[in-house]
Amino acid sequence: MKNVQTEVLVIGGGATGSGVAWDAAARGFETILVERKDLAEGTTGRFHGLLHSGGRYAVKDRLAAEECIHENRILRRVASDAIEDTGGYFVTTPWDDPAFGDKFLEGCRACEIPVEEISPSQAFQDEPRINRGISRVFTVPDAAIDGWKLVWDCAKATTEHGGRVFTYHQVLGILRAGDVVRGAKVRNELSGEEFEIHADFTINATGAWAGKIADMAGCPGVQVLAGKGIMIAMNHRLVNTVINRCTMPADGDILVPIRTVSVIGTTDIRIKDPDEPDVTQDEVDRMLDDGEKLVPGFRKARALRVWAGVRPLFKDARAAETTDTRDVSRSHALLDHRDRDGVAGFLTITGGKLTTFRMMAEETVDMMCEQLGAQRACRTSADPLPSSKTGKFMWLGERLKEREATMHEDQLICECELIQRSSLERVMTQRSSTILDDIRRALRLGMGPCQGGFCMYRATGILHDVERMDSWAANRSLRDFLQERWKGVQPILYGDQLRQARLDDWIFQGVLDVEHLPTDQLDDHPASDRA
Ligand SMILES: Cc1cc2nc3c(=O)[nH]c(=O)nc-3n(C[C@H](O)[C@H](O)[C@H](O)COP(=O)(O)OP(=O)(O)OC[C@H]3O[C@@H](n4cnc5c(N)ncnc54)[C@H](O)[C@@H]3O)c2cc1C
């Protein structure tokens, strides 16, 4: 068994863990980040896409609101490449109490969230699709944020500072020497190899799974409730501004325009197992009804896919039993296991929001520094992430502009998301992954209206070529990808998307017969030949 040595081991490659790794590496600690799947495959890759201004919490939870606006300002500077500055509206629909708007204004002002009431007619000019029954509109600095771009950039910053990132490495156990945590035993999920990572300090940033890792370290009772939320991506940007209902936080009250789609969400239902957040028909129906209240005609618009994410909501094990996850604090929890359990060299950070990931990481690394007796200043609020050095925000027109400049030289592989062959090959080489779903997250491959119908057989051929993988592995990758996409399409099959799914089925089953493509060398030979 090969052993690896490091100063800091961070477990969990979502926003929180990537943020902790970025922070620790930037302070000069030798750092390793491990993630059991691909980066941002947990909640971070399944969230709503909103960089909160804090407006949502201004009435209910002022501390959360203040944290959001504080981080919103910093992230616009240090993570601009992952942010589209859409701005946000809080709107009073016919179903909301107009008097709540006064409380909202007061709350925003108390938390120093820039807020302004504008006339509905002004809002209708900018957002012609929103409900004409809206009676009050407030502007706030909400924005859209791309969780994948953000996390990959944190990983890039980590490696630029000398750190290492191990994706597809699952923690199987926590190593202890007496009362001190000394790293973890991990398994490479692709090769099956198991080895130990010896670390001076270990940070558990596994979101909804944090209780399991804490248990492995011998620190029981870390209860992280799993609050499931579903979201539906609509084919178009029905709006270009984030639209929130001006009311107490509830289900289906936010519509976020992100990249080429707009996303309605979300729900909040407590579930037992964070690995199995299913989507029910009833939830889909309720979400579409809620969308209708913000944008009349929503139900007739084309829905692309639906997915669920799981909020990590920390609950003090000693508190009374809670069944409604909206009653659990949205703030984060940093657990000092030396004080709590008498176990040194180990911290857990969980809960919070993606918007506050950087601040959560800063607090965590500050506490680690204190325990290690190594005071080093945090750099992440001052030094931008590698792709954000120009300070430019993400811009929707970027790919079209690039396409127009190279139209005659570069092949277009994904028409929906305007992905050119050169970008695809570059990412496949950089990521060095044979998993098409990993390439999807990096480029939005197959995420447009056709859901991979026209680009995936092309991309599979290119992956086969670039990765020099055998045809069985390429077939497996294609099949896994299609299976994964189907999960998100199946619960919303109606209208145009049903027609699209039928066409995709003809292409992949009717023409290519993917179900019977050989995915193993043995498949090429009939059973009788093998004897
Ligand atoms: C429906 C929904 C909508 C949301 N919308 C927003 C929003 O719009 N704006 C906002 O600011 N916040 C939003 N949030 C909250 C936000 O998404 C989360 O707080 C945040 O993404 C959590 O990040 P994390 O890194 O802590 O957890 P995760 O992203 O879940 O990362 C934890 C990682 O740990 C890994 N892991 C688990 N066990 C192991 C192991 N044994 N070994 C190795 N790795 C392991 C998992 O695979 C996972 O990738 C939303 C949450 C939900 C559920």
416 shares a domain with 307? no
The last residue of a domain, from among 289, 317, 345:
317
Kindly report the pTM of this predicted structure: 0.94
In the block, which residue shows the tokens 């692709």?
Answer: 190
**Which among 222, 207, 221, 219 has a CA at the least distance from the CA of 181?**
219
Quick one: pLDDT at residue 431?
A: 83
251 shares a domain with 104? yes
* Pocket-forming residues, ligand 1, beta carbon under 6 Å: 11-17, 34-37, 41-44, 47-50, 52, 170-171, 205-209, 229, 265-266, 309-312, 352-355
Query: Using an 8 Å Cβ cutoff, are 236 and 261 in contact?
Result: yes
Q: Is 71 inside a domain boundary? A: no
> Which of 48, 251, 290 best tests ligand 1's pocket when mutated (most atoms within 8 Å of CB)?
48
443 shares a domain with 307? no
User: Whose C-alpha lies nearest to ligand 1, atom 2?
Assistant: 47
Q: Is 33 inside a domain boundary? A: no
263 shares a domain with 132? yes
The last residue of a domain, from among 271, 292, 317:
317
The span from the CA of 102 to the CA of 107, in Å, is 9
Q: Is 116 inside a domain boundary? A: yes
Quick one: pLDDT at residue 329?
A: 54
**Which among 375, 385, 365 has a CA at the least distance from the CA of 159?**
385
Cα(490) to ligand 1 centroid in Å equals 24
Exposure class string for 451-480: b at 16+ Cβ within 10 A, else e = bbbbbbebbbebbbebbebeebbbbbbbbe
Residue 313 burial (C-beta neighbours within 10 Å; 0-12, 13-18, 19+):
buried
Quick one: pLDDT at residue 322?
A: 44
In ligand 1, which atom is closest to the CA atom of 354?
11
402 shares a domain with 313? no
Per-residue pLDDT of the chain (531 residues; tens, 9 = 90+): 689 999 999 999 999 999 999 999 999 999 999 999 999 999 999 999 999 999 999 999 999 999 999 999 999 999 999 999 999 999 999 999 999 999 999 999 999 999 999 999 999 999 999 999 999 999 999 999 999 999 999 999 999 999 999 999 999 999 999 999 999 999 999 999 999 999 999 999 999 999 999 999 999 999 999 999 999 999 999 999 999 999 999 999 999 999 999 999 999 999 989 998 899 999 999 999 999 999 999 999 999 999 999 999 887 664 444 444 444 555 899 999 999 999 999 999 999 999 999 999 999 999 999 999 999 999 999 999 999 999 999 999 999 999 999 989 999 999 999 999 999 999 999 887 889 999 999 999 999 999 999 999 999 999 999 887 889 999 999 999 999 999 999 999 999 999 999 999 999 999 999 999 998 876 655 544 443
In ligand 1, which atom is closest to the CA atom of 231?
1
Quick one: pLDDT at residue 531?
A: 38
Q: Is 13 inside a domain boundary? A: no
In ligand 1, which atom is closest to the CA atom of 170?
42
Q: Which residues contact 480 (CB under 8 A, 6 or more apart)?
A: 435, 436, 437
In ligand 1, which atom is closest to the CA atom of 19?
25
305 shares a domain with 420? no
525 shares a domain with 414? yes
In the block, which residue shows the tokens 């009833």?
Answer: 282
DSSP state of 253: -
> Which of 16, 47, 222 best tests ligand 1's pocket when mutated (most atoms within 8 Å of CB)?
47
Report how many domains make up the chain. Answer: 2
CATH number at residue 273: 3.30.9.10
**Which among 34, 27, 37 has a CA at the least distance from the CA of 204?**
34
In ligand 1, which atom is closest to the CA atom of 228?
53
Q: Is 466 inside a domain boundary? A: yes
Distances (CA, A) of 497 to 158, 235, 481, 485: 40, 9, 18, 13
For the chain, give me the number of helices (H) and strands (E)?
16, 22
Quick one: pLDDT at residue 89?
A: 98
Q: Is 335 inside a domain boundary? A: no
In ligand 1, which atom is closest to the CA atom of 353?
19
416 shares a domain with 283? no
At residue 244, what is the residue type? Answer: N
Q: Is 286 inside a domain boundary? A: yes
CA angle 31, 444, 129 (to 5 degrees): 120
258 shares a domain with 114? yes
418 shares a domain with 303? no
Distances (CA, A) of 343 to 45, 210, 374: 32, 16, 19
The last residue of a domain, from among 317, 332, 354:
317
User: Whose C-alpha lies nearest to ligand 1, atom 9?
Assistant: 50
Query: Using an 8 Å Cβ cutoff, are 497 and 468 in contact?
Result: no
Q: Is 277 inside a domain boundary? A: yes
Domain of 95 in residue numbering reads as 80-144+225-317
Distances (CA, A) of 8 to 174, 197, 486: 14, 10, 39
User: Whose C-alpha lies nearest to ligand 1, atom 4?
Assistant: 47
Q: What is the pLDDT of residues 503-522, one digit of tens each?
A: 999 999 999 999 999 988 76
